[in-house]
Structure 1
Amino acid sequence: MLQGNSIGADARSVAEAVSSRSMPAREVIEQHLAHIDRANPRLNAIVTVAAESARQAADEIDARLARGESVGALAGVPFTVKDLIATAGVRTTAGSTALADNVPRVDAPAVARMRAEGAILIGKTNTPEFGASGLTHNDLFGYTLNPLSPDGIDRSPGGSSGGEASAIASGMSVVGLGTDFGGSVRWPAHCTGLCSVRPTGGRISPDGQYPGVMFDERVLTNAATMHGSVQTIGPMARNLDDLTSMLRVLSSPEYRWADPAGVRLDELDVRWAAGEGTVPVSAEIVAAVTESAERLAPSVNSMQPYSGAALRQANDLFTRMRAAETQTDILQYGPATGFGENIREVLAAVRPTPRTDAEALWAERSVLRHELLSTMGDVLILPVASILAPPIGETRFDVDGTVLSWSEALASSRAISILGVPSVVVPVATSASGLPIGVQIVARPWQEHNALAVAALCMRKPPH
């Protein structure tokens, strides 16, 4: 039970307290709104607070319970949504001045599924413009800070779901929805000590993400683009149970859900890698991956180093495919000169590509994906990124004498994105400076249950 305070509680506890009427949903929301008032001025994680609509939704849940009606599995749970994802009646800017006053009329399907289970939208969270950076800041709202600063240094929560990570890690929301293109729910989870999942493409409806195809007041995915084919919506939470519950709620009904509790770990063949093979990784992060593999080894059928070639080639393919995009979905909102620096750089990197060459890139992806699936076993463990949560304002990072950009530092995440396999991130260790270290636990397509089961063994247990 919540003992009168819902801040920091998990989703299951909140939903049980609300459903049993031991704590009204309205009280849960008021406590979280008060916490936002205290914490958000410093963190700048939530850019639009949906206070009145959240109160109204809470009152409706309390009224239904008073009438003896059933409520959903997430009844009264406050959640936030990355500002790239459409929310009916709540401003959605994608971090761009071009959409500063945009208020969608239709929820993204993922948002609608959360609301249908009784979760209450409490705010929208900061993102780099159109999610085009691994560091969360934009011209519209500025920088978002990581709530964790054990060494007294203001740090980034990563990106592009950095506002979402900061909101959840600081207790302003219980769970939330981010998006993942090249690591955008995985890297922020690593930076803030959260759990997240990049699902198999299609498990969660990708519609509702900006930029996209505008039709009938909806934002539809443009499947002809790399962005539309690779980016997913993914849940984020403070613990693995909440993450699993969210993924179950969000999963499209046409895809069978398998319970992680039913996984036979002793039948799994697991591989591990110290990185994707072309970019250096911090020694502390490599040690965390290695130790995770060693702890897991007695519980699984086999544990071996990954020896395939697909990871080494995948990050470069991600870069080449990205440069082949025309970015017409972004340009529908205005000329290049009207966007911030990150988007201007994305547009400047576009290289006119003959259709035959573009199709050859997709063919190369198919080959690499087949190679990965033939060599990864059932589960693959590897770093999320090459670095820990970086100080605010830093954009170049030294790893063993090699200076990396943020995109190079995310090579391990980008490789998994382009290869189209699901990945769960959980915190497994703490650095010497007190920062969290997460690892990716990658599974075969549609087998998120295997990754979640392995993650439960790998996850760092909080101190008692």
Structure 2
Amino acid sequence: MEDVIEDELCHLPAVELVKRLRTREVSAREVVTAHLDRVERVNPAINAIVTLTADQALADAAAADERLAHGEEVGPLHGIPVAHKDNHDVAGVRTTYGSPLLADNVPTAHSPIVERMRAAGVITLGKTNVPEFGAGSHTMNPVFGATRNPYRPLLSAGGSSGGAAAALAAGLHPLADGNDMGGSLRNPASFCNVVGLRPSPGRVPGGPGSLPASWLAVHGPMARTVEDVALLLSVIAGYDPHSPSSLREPAAPFAEPLDTDLTGLRVAWSPDLGGLPVDPAVSQVLEPAVKVFGDLGCEVEEATPDLTDADEVFRTLRARIFHLNLGALAEAHPGQIKETLAAEIAYGGTLSGQRVEKASVLQTRLVASTREFFSKYDLLLAPVSQVPPFPIRWEYPETVAGHEMRDYIDWMRSSSAISATRCPAISVPAGFTPDGSPVGLQMIGPHRGELSLLRAAHMFERATRHGERRPDLS
């Protein structure tokens, strides 16, 4: 019976946990202890949390309770336990980026997103698993191995925030931080039946070390509900004078109620984003999901923005970023970075300035054409991933719906094409395949349109309730 009570505490939404902690209906020690106990029982089967800071978490929880007992002002996430993604630095905690080259790396300072979460009262439980250097949408690496899908443990949890998503689904923590270049917040959310938001570039500051093309890789929130994602976004978003691309818009509105009337909302549905191969199992789940918007009063029609140049933009700038970030490391340690990533780093080093400049010009045109599209529609619906979760032993799917994939990122074009538009996008649980694999619906909003996107996602979630189906980890 005690395990049942603890497990119910571990599956409460973060917004409810916050209320209970504030009213002292439960203590931070009780919440952290319940989650640590569940980690001990459940995590060995899925390998989502790879570094655990149990003793420090319990000490921080005790301190959190003392602050409330003394009537001190506390942050909006006071006492909420979170394991941070293993490519986000946490001072004093091993942060490996999934690479043997950094297996003993212990940062001395927090990443900006971690800094904001801890300032809001988050208690660090440890670190969640990632692919090597966060590259690829399947969470496996030579340091910790692969993360298993909580719903079907022989399948992938997605990536690169796969450890974060699996931990959410399994009840190991209620909120998670992640980052997204080509789908790393959305794909694992889709695979694990949780919610992942890729915010607009600059919405969540990346810090002073951000590259000029930092709009391609953004930081963002994950959770089991849209409301919880919005709560975390209200903490991690907001202007940072040290971040060159930081938006000045306030973050507080994201914490406000999301209920709204969708009557008359102009919704575009693109089943394949202009001709991408999509596994029939994904389409069979998404088609009835899209009909829900009609039931909610939306005006739904098939339409796709012009994404002709999205692949060129994404691939060119992604390769260039990886070369700038990891080129020197790859050169100093030949053969010690996974082959698929090493090839992309090497390709980035061959790109001429003219090629990179051309990609930047194409990206500017892509943004303009996307804005034109959203003058006609309020919301775009599309697949998150072109495939359902695949076998954990694969590095990536080599074919999709009979089409051969060029490399380890080709199968995720349904997400990476949207990254190139600079639009915010969210993955929301949309149902399950006949064999029980989760499938998410990708909802895309106009530039800087996170608030309206979250409201629409919340109403879809409330109408369908697919996210309430928990994995059987007994």
TM-score, normalised with respect to structure 2: 0.88
Give the superposition deviation at 1:276.
Answer: 2.1
Which secondary structure does the structure 1 equivalent of 2:258 belong to? helix
Aligned to 1:18: 21
1:27 aligned onto 2:30:
yes
Compare 406-415 and 178-187 and name the one that shifted more. Answer: 406-415
How far off its partner does 1:27 sit? 1.7
What CA distance in whole angstroms lies between the structure 2 residues aligned with 1:12 and 1:199?
20
Equivalent residues in 2 for 1:309-388 (5 A)? 309-310=306-307, 312-325=308-321, 327-333=323-329, 335-337=332-334, 338-376=336-374, 377-388=377-388
Counterparts of 2:259 and 2:460 in 1: how far apart (Å)?
17
Note the alpha carbon deviations across 1:340-384, whole angstroms, 9 max, x for none: 334323223335233233111100111012112211422111000
Match of 1:215 in 2: none
Distance in 2, matches of 1:400 and 1:273, equals 17
1:7 matched to 2:10? yes
Displacement of 1:421 in angstroms is 0.7
User: What is the CA distance between 1:231 and its match in structure 2?
Assistant: 0.6
For residues 64-75 of structure 1, the aligned pairs below 5 Å read 64-75=67-78
Q: What secondary structure is seen at the aligned counterpart in 1 of 2:434?
A: coil
Q: CA deviation at 1:436?
A: 1.2
Aligned residues: 445
Q: Mark the CA change 1:268 to 1:93 in structure 2 (over 3 Å): closer, same or farther.
A: same
| 315-324 or 102-111: bigger deviation | 315-324
Give the corresponding residue for 1:195.
195
Could you tell me which residue of structure 2 aligns to residue 98 of structure 1? 101
Contact 2:316–2:356 under 8 Å retained in 1 = no
Note the aligned Cα RMSD (angstroms).
2.2
Share of identical aligned residues, percent? 31
Match of 1:249? 235
User: Does 125-134 or 247-256 show the bigger shift?
Assistant: 247-256
Matched with 2:465 is 461
For residue 458 of structure 1, report the CA deviation from its aligned partner.
2.4
Instruction: Detail structure 1 runs of 4+ shifted over 6 Å in the superposition.
Output: none
- 1:438 maps to amino acid: G
Q: Tell me which residue corresponds to 1:389.
A: 389
Q: Which residue of 2 aligns with 1:217?
A: none
Deviation at 1:202, TM superposition (A): 0.8
Equivalent residue number for residue 297 of structure 1? 294
CA contact (8 A) 2:323 2:346 kept: no
> Is the counterpart of residue 274 in structure 1 residue 271 in structure 2?
yes
Q: Which moved more, 1:407-416 or 1:111-120?
A: 111-120
* Structure 1 unpaired stretches of 5+: 208-219
**How far 1:263 moved relative to its partner?**
5.2
Query: Could you tell which deviates more after superposition, 112-121 or 329-338?
Result: 329-338
Find the residue that maps to 1:197 and give its secondary structure.
strand
Q: CA deviation at 1:25?
A: 0.7
Structure 1 residue 418, shift from structure 2 partner? 1.1
Change (3 A) 1:260 1:17: closer
**Are 2:234 and 1:240 equivalent residues in the alignment?**
no
Confirm whether residue 55 of structure 1 aligns to residue 58 of structure 2: yes
Task: Work out whether residues 222 and 229 of structure 1, in 8 Å CA contact, stay in contact via their aligned partners in 2.
Answer: no
Greater Cα shift, 423-432 or 401-410: 401-410
**Mean Cα deviation higher: 338-347 or 352-361:** 338-347
How far 1:251 moved relative to its partner?
1.3
1:448 is aligned to 450
Alpha-carbon distance in 2 for matches of 1:3, 1:41: 21
Indicate if the aligned counterparts of 1:129 and 1:342 stay in contact, CA closer than 8 A: no
**Structure 1 residue 95, shift from structure 2 partner:** 1.0
Contact 1:206 1:231 in 2 (8 A): no
Q: Counterparts of 1:120-269 in structure 2 under 5 Å?
A: 120-149=123-152, 154-207=154-207, 220-224=208-212, 226=213, 228-253=214-239, 254-257=248-251, 258=253, 259=256, 261=258, 265-269=262-266
Contact 1:260–1:450 at 8 Å: present in 2 too? no
Rounded to whole Å, the distance in 1 between the matches of 2:398 and 2:327 is 31
Give the distance between the partners of 1:148 and 1:38, measured in 2 at CA.
Answer: 16
Q: Deviations over 1:141-179 (max 9, x none)?
A: 111111111xxx611101111111111111111111011
TM-score using structure 1 length: 0.90
Rounded to whole Å, the distance in 2 between the matches of 1:177 and 1:423 is 16
2:363/2:420 contact within 8 Å kept:
yes
CA deviation after TM superposition for structure 1 residue 442, in Å: 0.5
- Offset at residue 3 of structure 1 (A): 5.8
Cα deviation code 1:38-63 (max 9, x no counterpart): 12222111111111221121011110
What are the superposed Cα offsets for residues 293-326 of structure 1, whole Å, 9 maximum, x if unpaired? 322125455322114322x431243123334456
Structure 2 CA distance for aligned equivalents of residues 448 and 223 of structure 1? 23
CA–CA distance in 1 between the matches of 2:140 and 2:344? 16
CA contact (8 A) 2:227 2:258 kept: no
